[in-house]
Chain A
């Protein structure tokens, strides 16, 4: 554009900073309660790492909800399936994974992730066609069929892999901790934070700098108007659904590595947190989803240490507090 992008014409875009302060404030408030700096650092790093993984899983779900009002409880299945499918490569690639080389470990891990994301992306595509499409706009049926789909997937995992937990060891170079003074931070947590940040940045780039992203943001706000401007929102939605499913697969692998084990119910366990995140972030908001994920995970870690008995309750409390402050979530999407 010729002469119109000029900064003098642009009024400063007011930015809503308050939600960004929540995680730092929470961390600061927790420090005196926890007492020891090293314990606090460990818990905070664990919380941030877990938060990033939850974000990777939740980001697709929030966009799927925002675009088509689809409540997909089946998202939990993609988490487990991603992790279990990746585990298929654990034995064949064990040489690479256990080699004492960051590069070989990394290559092997990327192969695991690529397989997981391909499988869950394809599964997502089929899931959308077979299970979601017939129940557009019908929330009660959506809950029933997607919960059904999730149970079927979970049972299939039990049939194929058995009901017991399986080991999912970290590659050699990702084990251990980095020690700074008397603070030790596990390497994998740092890696998880980096991956989460990369996914977040990539997503912001797509949403803010591409036409597809523009369409997604517009569609989350007002689906009908996007169609009236000449765009088929369903095609867009299928793309977002597949991408979100693939990201859930990535999150599943990362979650399995975080816990270094697989259980058939792992997807379901994370899904509860994921739904809390989607609600407190503001349905359809990626920024809100990111902050919500960190908040939920950091809170869970602090609460797990300070008051283990109420750890899950702490997230419900967090949700209630956030919704009392902002009833439509941290970053509500206009028109919703």
Chain B
């Protein structure tokens, strides 16, 4: 019997050095949907994703993924269990070409042609700069490469940290289209976002963090309706983001 949630965090605590950053995170990511993880700067969103990936280790609590407890697994084993990660800083290998960046992400060996064409359809710039070192790409193109690297092979879960950070509005539109397409593949996605418009247009469910905890979880539609809740949880002014 498969659980409804693909990923579940139970009372997860994470310390970074002397700091107690995550203080009992409860989070469930339903299968096949896009869950938005929202929250103010410093709320602990990135730390949550890094804890799921095993880049920080939880000092208490449990992380369950697809029926296994992965709390203490090593990062490569978590990745191989089927989780792809797009970090906040994108984690591009600047000295490697676009092609080599993607080749590394394709653990099966070679890149699947059909999948690659699909990725080029999402992000045509990658085709254009195929043989260029990734360090020469613009910020938006690097973000596209980072996402392309995550989706170059099918994975069960995608963790994506602030893909719109610092991007021009035109490129954000392109990103929204790309995530819509990714959703069509029945992928499960956990997406951290600051841009509420972006979040509203894509999210199925939502969790909001504050001070190292999840302080609200529910459907995106419900939060999108409720101005007062947005204001209280996210500090959005009542007339912003029209």
Contact = CB atoms under 8 A, between A and B. Distances in A.
A11 B120 CA distance: 16
B160 to A, nearest CB: 12
A225 B89 CA distance: 10
Given A224-B55, A227-B79, A230-B76, A9 B130 contact: yes
B79 A13 contact: no
Nearest to B85: A228
Interface string B92-133: 011111001001110100110100100010000001111111
Contact of A334 (B55, B116, B135): B135
Interface string A197-226: 000000000000001001101100110111
B80 interface: yes
A229 interface: yes
Interface residues of B, number: 35
Contacts of B113: 1-2
Given A232-B74, A333-B95, A214 B103 contact: yes
A218 B93 contact: yes
Chain A contact residues: helix, strand, loop or mixed: loop
Given A214-B104, A227-B79, A229-B79, A11 B96 contact: no
A228 B91 contact: yes
A333 B95 CA distance: 7
A226 B149 CA distance: 12
A228 B129 contact: no
Interface residues of A, number: 29
Interface in B57-83: 74-76, 79-80
Contacts, number: 87
A4 interface: yes
A10 B131 contact: yes
A150 B133 CA distance: 39
B53 interface: yes
Residue in B80, B94, B105, B131 with the greatest tally of chain A CB atoms within 10 Å: B131
A11 B131 contact: yes
Contact of A221 (B87, B94, B149): B94
Question: Of residues B85, B136, B149, which shows the largest number of chain A Cβ atoms within 10 Å of its Cβ?
Answer: B85
A226 B75 CA distance: 10
A214 B100 contact: yes
B96 A224 contact: no
Contacts of A11: 128-129, 131-132
Contacts of B94: 221, 334-335
Interface of A: 1-2, 4-5, 9-11, 13-14, 211, 214-215, 217-218, 221-222, 224-233, 333-335
27 contacts: A1-B110, A1-B111, A4-B120, A9-B127, A10-B131, A10-B132, A13-B97, A13-B131, A13-B132, A214-B96, A215-B104, A217-B100, A218-B96, A218-B100, A222-B91, A222-B93, A224-B91, A225-B91, A225-B93, A226-B104, A228-B76, A228-B91, A229-B105, A229-B107, A229-B149, A333-B95, A334-B135
